[in-house]
Amino acid sequence: MTFERPQKGNPHKLTMNQHTFPSASIDRFANEKGAVQVLRKASDKVFHARPADRIFCAQRVWDQQAEGGFMKDIEDAFQALVSVILDDPAFRLGRQHFTVINEFYCLWNIRAQWKKNERLADPSIGSAPEVIGLRHHYTKDEQELLEAEGIGYIRPDLTISSRSLVAPSIRLNLSDAVRAMSGETWQLLQAVEGEFVVPDNFFKWLFVPLSPTVCLCAHPELNPSTLHRDGVAVINRLAIEASIDYYFARDLDHCPK
């Protein structure tokens, strides 16, 4: 099932390629040419991709209000925290940071699950005879303007976009997931040998790779905070196992498995 494309030129600047793992996070793994190395599991194909590449994105699965609203707020708070972490080698995580990390971790994984199911989603929901009629039949341009402004609408054929239902579903899933993680305590892991792999989701394990050599972890049994090659390999194997479609790194040859 293809996604609903906007008008030619996308005049209302609706986001088509919706990142599950943010482009700013992917960019921290980019090589000197601005790309990461990706392995696609189904084919074992290895290739380079820039952070904006389609492989990292769902295509218009949730609506613009979610993309530019609560999702952006979560991403912005997380990116600000990561910048501080990576800029200050002596930085110590405190309890005030855990909610920021929990929200991002849950959002990343929930969006990855929706991306996995995007081909099964019907871009329109509902269909019925026009028994009462609509006061106004919104044009394509009006529909896109309403979405850009965060306003719901019914199409002339009495359907609504699946995006308008996916967004509140994600928000409810996110609320439940964050609540379930309220007691988690995150720590920083530093690789002194080797580099981390980034999966397309880390749903089974509580890790968030931040850079080729820094990773967030909520598994207290993993000590010390500095990891040699064998410790990095353990996390990379978990990442590869967790990934649905692909995983990436700055250079996969530098990632012990």
DSSP-assigned letter for residue 224: -
CA-wise closest residue to 124 among 159, 80, 72, 87 = 159
Tokens matching residue 159 = 């359907």
Please choose, from the candidates 131, 182, 180, the residue with its C-alpha nearest in 3D space to the C-alpha of residue 158: 131
> What pLDDT, on a 0 to 100 scale, did the predictor assign at position 92?
92
pLDDT given at position 120: 47
Block residue for tokens 């979405």: 147
Distances (CA, A) of 68 to 3, 19, 126, 174, 240: 19, 12, 26, 16, 30
Minimum mean pLDDT range among 46-60, 178-192, 201-215, 219-233: 219-233
For residue 204, the model assigns a pLDDT of 85
Q: Give all strands (DSSP E) within 99-173, no chain letters.
A: 124-125, 160-161
Residue pair 94/34 in contact (Cβ under 8 Å)? The answer is no
Q: What is the mean pLDDT of residues 172-193?
A: 95
Q: What digits encode the pLDDT tens for the residues 130-153? A: 444 456 667 877 767 767 777 676
Distance of CA 26 to the CA centre of its chain: 10
